[in-house]
Structure 1
Amino acid sequence: IAVDRAQGFDLDACMADGFSTGGTQGIGLGAVARQADVFDVFADHRGAVLLARLYPRSDRQVDMPYGVSQHSLHNDPACGDVWHLAIHGSDVSALVVDGLGHGEDAERAARAGEKAFALNPFGAPTLLMEDMHREMIGSRGGAVAFAQFHAGRASLSFTGVGNIGASLIASDKSRGLASHPGIVGGQYRKAQPFDYAHVNGHLLIMYSDGLQSRWNLQDYPGLVHRHPAVIATVLHRDFCRGRDDVTVLVVALESAHD
């Protein structure tokens, strides 16, 4: 992924071989697009984000429609934010954990929660949160949210404790997903799952509080139709608070991933 915050460019013009804004041969973007297995780009007056994915020819893979953009505060080697994505057929279970604070202790707390989640990512939500809570006791604890997408019935179950933000985005509407207050590994009263029907074709966006919550994809015409990795990167670029670890996870909810 290449990211800039310049003035953007005319994408249609720049994709044509021979066109250059800098006096070169003008074959760069076209060559990348031809050789990449997955290519996508979003450009406007705020800059551009370009995605190219290449897979080994000996082991061609189906591209998964998800993307993550993450960095730790001050580029610390330890990141207190952790994400995990589990795939079973067309079902998806997505996790974001934000360990309290930042640095090694926050990362240790978040990794403890991830470890419990990874053992049973499609388990009953209330029990799964309890498993994570037990694993995180003795650590700093943290905010936790996970979403379980059931492709066969096009429904999503969302369970959150703390301030992990989450939204379901369609081309014409958006709705926030509700979490309960508390600290997993510390104290929380309940972890009630909320169910959402008819979510096939929606985007699931989950993010830690290192990202501002006042973004709106409608302010970026066409972005909702771009690859999830491009969407995650644009949001990270433009809405990072700059004073905490930040994670943005975007998943396209589809009935099949092939």
Structure 2
Amino acid sequence: MLEEAGVLGVVGAAFAVMLVVAARKLAVQVDERIEKVRERLPGASCGACGLRGGCDALAEEVVKDPSLLGKCRLLGPEERREIGRILGVEVKGEEERRFPRVRCTGQGKILFEARGERTCSALSDLAGGPLACPYGCLGMGDCVRACPFGALRLEGGLPVVEEERCTGCGLCEQACPRGVIRLQPAGTKVLLLCNSPAPGKEVTASCASGCIKCRICEKACPVQAIKLDPLPVIDASLCTACGTCVE
């Protein structure tokens, strides 16, 4: 009986040693920098970086490729520099903030009253929507609901951005089925308030204040900062905000 117990004890000890050795050999080495980077990410897991795992997934990817840090739009300059120090690379600390801008005045002609599911996405799929302009803001607030920071609200059927709350994550831009909302640098001097690439006659028939592609702004600009393609495209590096194009 004692001999059998002794044999079992030896066998058990042998298996224990084998398990320890196997565990050490098969153990997955975790880069300690991942946790350090994760601690300095905002933790919002808003999804703006495009990764399903949010900040956890981004931390892993950034350790592999520091250039991917630019995917996070919520990081401040100091956090960027600190992550750069952790990874031993130079990361630009200063990046101009971007805010969503609404390329629509909300003056499009209404063709019919919207019923049923009142979301921009649903209305856009419904015979092109209730507006005569197929590019205008539908005003149902998909962008407002998409914002995890409460930085947008609807006023007069158009989204209004509260810049003090906005982080520039871009989720509102992604939520708009018509591309009316565009992220632009905070220092943008002149804003285009039309989203329609349609010819002038079509725009006039569908909206009271849309861009008719008359090229007057392009010709009037004293520094040639505006080109039509098909809407006016403003070269921020040339624009002096003189106001001639607006006049």
TM over 0.5: no
Structure with greater strand percent: 1
Please say which structure displays the higher CA radius of gyration.
Answer: 2
Q: Using structure 1 for the length normalisation, give the TM-score.
A: 0.23
Ranked by relative contact order (alpha carbons within 8 Å, sequence separation 6 or more), the top structure is 1
More helix, by proportion: 2
